[in-house]
Amino acid sequence: MTFSPQLEERFAKMLQAYPEGKKRSAVVPMLIYAQDETGAVTPELIEEVAKRCEVTPLQVDEVVGYYSMLHRKPQGKFHVQVCTSISCMLVGGTELYDQACKKLGVGHKQTTADGVFSLEEVECMGACSWAPCVEVNYDYHHNVSPEKFDALIDGLRKAQ
Amino acid sequence: MANLVKVKINGQEFEAEKGTLLIEAARQNGIEIPAFCYYEGYSLQAACRMCLVEVEGTPKLQVGCTLPVDVNRDGSPMVVHTESETVKSARKGTLELLLTNHPLDCPVCDKGGECELQDMVFKYGAGESRYSETKVHTPEKQWSPVVFFDAPRCILCYRCVRACNEGMGVGALGIGNRGVIAEIIPNKHDHLECDECGSCIDICPVGALTSGTYRYQTRPWEMNHVGTVCTHCGDGCKTTLGVRDGEIMRGNNRDRSGINDEFLCVKGRYAFDFVNHPDRLQSPMLKNASGGHDPISWSQALDMVAKKFSEVKARNGKFGIIGSNHTTNEENYFLQKFARQGLGTKNIDHHRTGDLATLFDALSGKNDTLASVGDLYTAKAVLVVGNDLSQQHPLLANQIRANFRHHAAHIYTVTTGEVREDKQSIAKVRVKQGGELAGVESLREQLKAEASLVILFGDSVQGDSLRKLVAFGDSLGIPVKYIGLVDYSNSRGAFDMGIIPRDGGLSREQMLAATDLDVLWVVGANPLKSATLASNAFVVVSEMFMTETAKRADLILPAASAYEKSGTVTNVTGEVQKLKPAAKVMGTKTDLEIAGSIAKEMGLNLGIWLPDKMLEEIRSTVHGYNVPMPILSTGGAAPTQPLNGRVAALPGTIASSGDTLFTSGTLGRYSKMLNSVMEAPGALYGGNK
């Protein structure tokens, strides 16, 4: 499996960042950056990361199963994550999530038919001061009201 | 022991080495701190919270399995309570949590009666649960013919994961997902590709991992447990057979009664099923006119053999006797006595799988040069030459892995292909067959720097090259011990007892090739699998199955297997252990009884042929076999003394059988379980990764 030259460069640097014999430490960052480029953690990617980090594919599989940010199936172009942990819940996070389901027509960990949006109900993202919080890919959106959410989605749809 | 400190446990003061884990310090002094995840010899997990103890001066309960023993800051001893009310209530709480999703299907669970979770709940309570939610349930999965997994029963102690990863060096098990849906996962998504050793099943404290042969067959308390020696390879693992009504239900070594501790491979744990194979021969058979065989009675058969033997002996005819690698020392000793004294022939041999004659001769005059199974665990350095240990000698491989894990031993490999030991080796050399010595030579400087060394070598090092290897060992200037690898459960014993063509006898090949042979007597061997018999000899075969050799036989005598008899066997490292009869197969006789009966029919006086009497004779006459009886009779492994005298070279060829982890000569062909795993028949050198 090959990646873009930029990613390859990043991986090469990454593997040198850990002490001798500890390549295993690179499993998580390698997976997440590779996922950004390839769209999902496929069995081929697991094999590849295992080879590069000198662990068994099973050991990579364990990591993939553990971290909810690693996805085995491709996400939408915009991965919408709505927080429903306590701070967000208190100021309408749960309602916001329900609205997201309706607006996008999909549920938790599902992707729209056109592949543009995917939705995920997530735990605390550490933005409690600006609750409720929504994260789209790596961008945070704070104090998201129902109107603001609709506008956000419509804007993204136009922009794509 | 250096640096002893005092520690007070439950009001009693003990001494322990500083840094000992509290759970170990307590165990050493007879105080049991319960634990699921802690397992001696494997890495620490601290996952189950059962070993919580109260340490005075520490506000919260401490985890006993990761707490090193030390003195307090003021120099006073650590004061620990392992069974205080607080501790008991914490353990009860832990158990209540473990039982949240654990099904209470104990009445049908294989583990019921010997389940650690059951025992803990029995001890600490948690008989009532405050949870009223529905238990999370997932269906049971089959991962291989051997391994079944029932996720809801799993308490996620990680024992199996560590046993497979660290113990076996296979790493076929892991943990998938997390939280309440976390479960053990196999390496191939829905199935296992591994050694199929079943150590994950044995080590499971609950009934989450169950065995294909044993599941739903019996209750543990209905069995008698017979500790005997595995009859497959030469390593001499103790296998404790669970026997119900004369039938073997399972094999394990949970009682850690042997040199193998808990270790067993797929053969020791599962390949006992040949005993009850429907093809077992259960009656003597006489060749009929059409080339087939008809059953006859034992008395007719013995009479016929005796008459034939007496007749050939009377006219100074030519006998050839091929002995077995699986029969006991007593049987082998009696057989060679029968041959030499009873029949007056030197033509006796067996399938030799390692060049022991040259090894013993090359080592003559040197002391302490043969390594034991235990030595492999303590040796500072180990050199493996020309053998795929994890396939052919799984126990020895296991010892080396444990030595590396616990003592960071230096492992060197000189092999023709990739071996599992490569992963732990500090130097690996790939050679072509025959190039082993050059490979070893290339490691000279590194090996010289070691404090001591154990060299294991396979059948590719024999004759001259073996002498050169020993000379190489001598030239290193460090203490060197050797293990000459031989394949079968009593290969070493067959050699030591004299099933060898010494003093000018014919070798196996020469007997088969001789055109004037009058009688060929084959005991538990299958020489005609890969060779033909040149003569028209009268062939007598004692065998368990209708092998290629048995088919050619004029008379077949049904023999008992090693699991059906008493006696001793000598393993690859020359350690003698006792067999105990576990099963009984109707119509069969042990080879000692068969040979003894023939002797009686012939009117020969070869002494009393009871196993115990035979052992007495062996101890007083066979060099090196004056082994201590207390060790033997209590089920221990008694080391033989090295020959320490010149040994004449023997005619004939020496070759390993090439058996893998999933084959075992004739026995393997008749083990349903061994043939049912998808890895079978396996391959040497990197074949099962």
**For the residues of B229-245, what is the DSSP string, one character each?**
E-SSBTT--EEEEEEET
Beta bridge mates, B233? B488
Alpha-carbon gap, residue B458 to B416, rounded angstroms = 11
Return the CATH fold of B4-97: Ubiquitin-like (UB roll) (3.10.20)
Q: Does B175 touch chain A (CB under 8 A)?
A: yes
pLDDT tens digits, one per residue of B467-506: 999 999 999 999 999 999 999 999 999 999 999 999 999 9
Q: Please choose, from the candidates B600, B604, B610, B598, the residue with its C-alpha nearest in 3D space to the C-alpha of residue B519.
A: B598
Q: Are B385 and B455 in contact (CB under 8 A)?
A: yes
Q: How confident is the model at residue B674 (pLDDT cuts 50, 70, 90)?
A: very high
Across residues B278-287, what is the average pLDDT? 97
Give the burial string for B100-127 (b: 16+ CB within 10 Å, else e). Answer: ebbeeebeebbbeeebbbbebbeebebe
pLDDT tens digits, one per residue of B570-615: 999 999 999 999 999 999 999 999 999 999 999 999 999 999 999 9
Q: How confident is the model at residue A117 (pLDDT cuts 50, 70, 90)?
A: very high
Tokens of A96: 């916001």
Tokens of A34: 């590779």
Give residue B31's pLDDT. 96
Q: Are B190 and B673 in contact (CB under 8 A)?
A: no
pLDDT tens digits, one per residue of B499-555: 999 999 999 999 999 999 999 999 999 999 999 999 999 999 999 999 999 999 999
Q: How confident is the model at residue B686 (pLDDT cuts 50, 70, 90)?
A: confident
CATH, residue A52: 1.10.10.1590
Tokens of B265: 């491979």
Omega of the bond leading into B681 within 30 degrees of 0 (cis): yes
pLDDT at B376 over 70: yes
Share of chain B above pLDDT 90, in %: 94
From chain A, the residues in CB contact with B172 under 8 A are 58
Q: Give CA separation, A75 vs B14, B226, B310, B330, in Å.
A: 60, 58, 86, 71
**E strands, chain A, in order:** 78-83, 110-111, 117-122, 134-136, 139-141
Please give the biggest Cα pair distance in chain A.
Answer: 52
From chain A, the residues in CB contact with B171 under 8 A are 56, 58-59
Question: Quick check: A57 and B171 CB within 8 A?
Answer: no
Whether residues A62 and A83 share a domain: the answer is no
Q: How many CB pairs under 8 A join A and B?
A: 26
From chain B, the residues in CB contact with A62 under 8 A are 174-176, 185
Q: Does B177 touch chain A (CB under 8 A)?
A: yes
pLDDT at B688 over 60: no
The contacts of residue B281 (CB under 8 Å, 6+ apart) are: B543, B544, B545, B546, B550, B556, B558, B559, B587, B588
Q: Does B164 touch chain A (CB under 8 A)?
A: no
The H-or-E segment that residue B399 falls in is helix B394-407
Owning domain of residue A119: 78-159
B350: region left, alpha or beta (phi > 0 left; psi from -120 to 50 alpha): beta
Give residue B646's pLDDT. 86
Across residues B408-413, what is the average pLDDT? 97
Q: Does B172 touch chain A (CB under 8 A)?
A: yes
Beta bridge mates, B229? B238
Alpha-carbon distance A62 to nearest alpha carbon in chain B (angstroms) = 5
Tokens of B602: 């012939």
Give residue B367's pLDDT. 85
Give residue A21's pLDDT. 87
DSSP structure class, residue B488? B
Give the burial string for B501-533 (b: 16+ CB within 10 Å, else e). Answer: bbeebbbbebbbebeebbbbbbbbbbbbeeeeb
User: Would you tell me the crossing angle of helices A27-38 and A43-53 to the nearest 10 degrees?
Assistant: 140
Domains of chain B, by residue range, sit at 4-97, 285-348+498-564+588-627+640-656, 356-485
Q: Does B408 touch chain A (CB under 8 A)?
A: no
The contacts of residue B316 (CB under 8 Å, 6+ apart) are: none
pLDDT at B463 over 50: yes
Alpha-carbon gap, residue B463 to B648, rounded angstroms = 12
Whether residues A107 and A39 share a domain: the answer is no
Q: Does B646 touch chain A (CB under 8 A)?
A: no
Alpha-carbon gap, residue B77 to B55, rounded angstroms = 11
Optimal mutation site among A42, A53, A58, interface B, most CBs of chain B within 10 A: A58
Alpha-carbon gap, residue B95 to A143, rounded angstroms = 43
Q: Residue B45's CB: how many other CB atoms inside 10 A?
A: 19
Tokens of B193: 């590709």
From chain B, the residues in CB contact with A58 under 8 A are 171-174, 185, 187
Give residue B641's pLDDT. 83
Give, in words, the CATH class of B356-485: alpha beta
Whether residues A42 and A83 share a domain: the answer is no
Share of chain A above pLDDT 90, in %: 94
- Among all chains, which residue has been given the structure tokens 């490999």? B413
Alpha-carbon gap, residue B52 to B23, rounded angstroms = 10
Report the residue of chain B nearest A62, measured CA to CA: B176
Whether residues A120 and A57 share a domain: the answer is no
Number of domains comprising chain A: 2
Alpha-carbon gap, residue A148 to B140, rounded angstroms = 47
Whether residues A105 and A132 share a domain: the answer is yes
Q: Please choose, from the candidates B465, B522, B542, B514, the residue with its C-alpha nearest in 3D space to the C-alpha of residue B351.
A: B522
pLDDT tens digits, one per residue of B247-262: 999 999 999 999 999 9
User: Would you tell me the crossing angle of helices A57-66 and A27-38 to the nearest 10 degrees?
Assistant: 70
Whether residues A96 and A44 share a domain: the answer is no
Alpha-carbon gap, residue B415 to B248, rounded angstroms = 38
Q: Give CA separation, B115 vs B120, B124, B244, in Å.
A: 9, 14, 20
pLDDT at A1 over 90: no
Give the burial string for B138-164 (b: 16+ CB within 10 Å, else e). Answer: eeebebbbbbbbbbbbbbbbbbbbbbb
Q: Are B395 and B263 in contact (CB under 8 A)?
A: yes
- Among all chains, which residue has been given the structure tokens 């105080």? B31
Q: Tell whether A130 is covered by a domain.
A: yes
- Among all chains, which residue has been given the structure tokens 């009445």? B107
Alpha-carbon gap, residue A125 to A89, rounded angstroms = 13
pLDDT at A51 over 60: yes
Q: Are B486 and B351 in contact (CB under 8 A)?
A: no
Tokens of B337: 């006595």
Asked if the domains B4-97 and B356-485 are classified in one and the same CATH topology, the answer is no
pLDDT tens digits, one per residue of B343-355: 999 999 999 999 9
- B668: helix, strand or coil: helix
Question: Quick check: B173 and A58 CB within 8 A?
Answer: yes
Q: Does B173 touch chain A (CB under 8 A)?
A: yes
Q: Residue B17's CB: how many other CB atoms inside 10 A?
A: 15
Whether residues A50 and A101 share a domain: the answer is no
Alpha-carbon gap, residue B410 to B400, rounded angstroms = 9
Global pTM value: 0.93
From chain A, the residues in CB contact with B174 under 8 A are 58-59, 61-62
Whether residues A84 and A150 share a domain: the answer is yes
DSSP structure class, residue B37? S
**E strands, B64-164, in order:** 78-81, 141-142, 147-149
Integer-rounded Cα Rg, in Å, for chain A is 18
Q: Tell whether A73 is covered by a domain.
A: no
Q: How confident is the model at residue B405 (pLDDT cuts 50, 70, 90)?
A: very high
Q: Tell whether A22 is covered by a domain.
A: yes
- Among all chains, which residue has been given the structure tokens 């002094």? B29
Tokens of B371: 């390594």
pLDDT at B687 over 70: no
Report the residue of chain B nearest A61, measured CA to CA: B176
Q: Does B180 touch chain A (CB under 8 A)?
A: no
Of B171, B172, B178, the CB nearest to A65: B178
Which of residues A22, A40, A66 is at a domain's end? Answer: A66
Whether residues A50 and A121 share a domain: the answer is no
Amino acid at B94: T
- B191: helix, strand or coil: strand
Alpha-carbon gap, residue B182 to B178, rounded angstroms = 4
Give residue B685's pLDDT. 87
Give residue B626's pLDDT. 94
Alpha-carbon distance A147 to nearest alpha carbon in chain B (angstroms) = 35
CATH, residue A118: 3.40.30.10
3-state secondary structure B158-186: CHHHHHHHHHCCCCCEEEECCHHHCEEEE
What residues 184-223 of chain B have any CB closer than 8 A to a CB of chain A? Answer: 185, 187
pLDDT tens digits, one per residue of A15-34: 999 998 899 999 999 999 99
Across residues A42-68, what is the average pLDDT? 95
The H-or-E segment that residue B249 falls in is strand B247-252
- B130: helix, strand or coil: coil
pLDDT at B689 over 70: no
In which order are the strands placed within the sheet that holds B567-570? Answer: B567-570, B575-579, B638-639
Alpha-carbon gap, residue B424 to B431, rounded angstroms = 19
Of A57, A59, A66, the CB nearest to B178: A66
Q: Residue A24's CB: how many other CB atoms inside 10 A?
A: 15
Q: Please choose, from the candidates B189, B98, B248, the residue with its C-alpha nearest in 3D space to the C-alpha of residue B584.
A: B248
pLDDT at B105 over 80: yes
Return the CATH fold of B285-348+498-564+588-627+640-656: Rossmann fold (3.40.50)
Q: Tell whether A72 is covered by a domain.
A: no
Whether residues A83 and A151 share a domain: the answer is yes
Q: Please choose, from the candidates B166, B178, B180, the residue with its C-alpha nearest in 3D space to the C-alpha of residue B138.
A: B180
Alpha-carbon gap, residue B426 to B382, rounded angstroms = 10
Alpha-carbon gap, residue B672 to B263, rounded angstroms = 22
Average pLDDT of the residues of chain B: 95
pLDDT tens digits, one per residue of B185-210: 999 999 999 999 999 999 999 999 99
The H-or-E segment that residue B638 falls in is strand B638-639
Indicate the Cα dihedral angle B286, B290, B291, B296, nearest 10°.
Answer: -10
Alpha-carbon gap, residue B280 to B368, rounded angstroms = 43
Of B176, B178, B187, the CB nearest to A56: B187
pLDDT at B673 over 80: yes
